[in-house]
Amino acid sequence: MRIEKFIIEMVAEELKRQYRKSENWKKRIIKRVLLGTVNRIIPGRLWIVRGIPELGDRYQYYEVYSRGERYLCTCYTHPWSGKRRPCTHVGAVMLYERIQTLLEPGPGFEPGK
């Protein structure tokens, strides 16, 4: 589990730099992933992210849609969403997906052999 935490930190840092976000943004997306709030509904298309009131979420669930590299979150339709894009819901989805790709054994990988 330690190594996973390390990988999560590393990937989150990468996303933070890529999108020029703050350290706080990075911490929030890590928290969302570690709390298991990201649920993949349609691979590559739709995720549901459970809201965390502690992080200022006002809704129980957020839907994140993707079309290629572009992501949309239902929080973007709220007047208070401001310019915090990508929001931490989208950030958490990107982090989750990148980690899945890294941790899921790919074809040809047989643990223990």
Residues making contact with Zn ion (CB under 5 A): 73, 75, 87, 89
For Zn ion, the closer CB: 5 or 45: 45
Residue with tokens 């929080």, as numbered in its chain: 75
For Zn ion, the closer CB: 12 or 87: 87
Task: Kindly state the smallest distance separating residue 107's Cβ from Zn ion, in Å.
Answer: 33
Sheet of 38-42, strand order: 38-42, 46-50, 61-67, 70-73
Task: Kindly state the smallest distance separating residue 23's Cβ from Zn ion, in Å.
Answer: 19
The three-state secondary structure class of 67 is: strand
For Zn ion, the closer CB: 7 or 76: 76
Task: Kindly state the smallest distance separating residue 13's Cβ from Zn ion, in Å.
Answer: 20
Task: Kindly state the smallest distance separating residue 102's Cβ from Zn ion, in Å.
Answer: 23
Q: Return the CA Rg of the chain.
A: 14
Residue 37, burial from CB neighbour count under 10 angstroms (0-12, 13-18, 19+): buried
For Zn ion, the closer CB: 30 or 73: 73
The three-state secondary structure class of 71 is: strand
